[in-house]
Structure 1
């Protein structure tokens, strides 16, 4: 990594997104944002400036080196990240972004009628995938994979299709982990196919583990790129 004074900010996404159906209804998921906020806190404790793009959560975090951008939808989260992604060396995509959104948002509250109701959905922007397309060689991206089956295979697929450097695998099979809990159990897998499984810990401790791993990986990338540049300037 560069010297302390030259550290670039870290971009982190956290929480769920809400995709509006009408003025009073929306699609969302069970994400509490606790993991993303714990990661942000860990980077702040290590002296980094952090930009936290947060979906709607019941959490608060304050720090002189923290910028929080509150968003609602996946589109808002993506647009907020676009301004900062080119400036960062590390990005952690911890938000649980809705995969789909309603094709049409009704202007008025829909009235109940009939026994059945159909809602047409369209695919949302895949934030990690979009930034993976423009990621520079000195940048490090970390993503999450919450899986119910074929866990490692699905996590590896996300790692490479989204051009991530590291994927954090969560399994809904693990008790006390994933959405809503104050604890989590993860497996980290990087592009070298090196995996490490951690025991169940508090999300604060898991946040530190993820920050440490991302910083270590970024340091190696920085050294490799610097050596490569030095060789070409000899």
Structure 2
């Protein structure tokens, strides 16, 4: 896909690089929309070379990934996404509060026609006042336009 017009794109490969890029570039942003599905955990150590097979068992220690959206600094509209498999609204409301979000897009990844690998999605929008709006099943394009409409409305607040 081509980069969108009027959007500065910074390409990264790791969550740590993403966190650094946001700290460097977000201060002059109007909105920070964090749709990336960043893993909650990462390998505690990485290898520079291929790890050769041996007869020994291998264990990978995991370290918690920094919460990029929670630690992002700046005066911009904050939009987060939550892919949930249970307690959708409750978990999403908790994230609105803990991350000081203006809006969260909560996605029940167990719902039919929703989530990864589908052209449609059924999401719930929750704003900073914890007001809940459940959207019907829509194309992802239509979902993105509904989110954009909500972000534009936040600039008027």
| TM-score (normalizing by structure 2) | 0.92
- Relative to 1, partners in 2 of residues 1:107 and 1:143: Cα closer, same or farther, differing over 3 Å? same
Q: Which has the larger radius of gyration?
A: 1
Q: What is the rounded CA distance, in whole Å, between the counterparts of 2:139 and 2:4 in structure 1? A: 21
**Number of equivalenced pairs:** 157
Cα RMSD between the aligned structures? 1.5
1:95 to 36, 50, 56: 36
Q: Is the 8 A contact 1:145 1:167 kept in 2?
A: yes
Shift of 1:69: 1.8
Shift of 1:119: 0.2
**Greater length-normalized contact order (CA 8 Å, ≥ 6 residues apart):** 1
Q: What is the rounded CA distance, in whole Å, between the counterparts of 1:92 and 1:61 in structure 2? A: 18
1:163 to 88, 95, 100: 100
Q: What is the rounded CA distance, in whole Å, between the counterparts of 2:79 and 2:42 in structure 1? A: 24
Shift of 1:64: 4.0
Q: What is the rounded CA distance, in whole Å, between the counterparts of 1:171 and 1:209 in structure 2? A: 17
Q: What is the rounded CA distance, in whole Å, between the counterparts of 2:25 and 2:152 in structure 1? A: 18
Asked if 1:118 is matched to 2:51, the reply is no
Gaps of 5+ in 2: none
Q: What is the rounded CA distance, in whole Å, between the counterparts of 1:140 and 1:63 in structure 2? A: 19
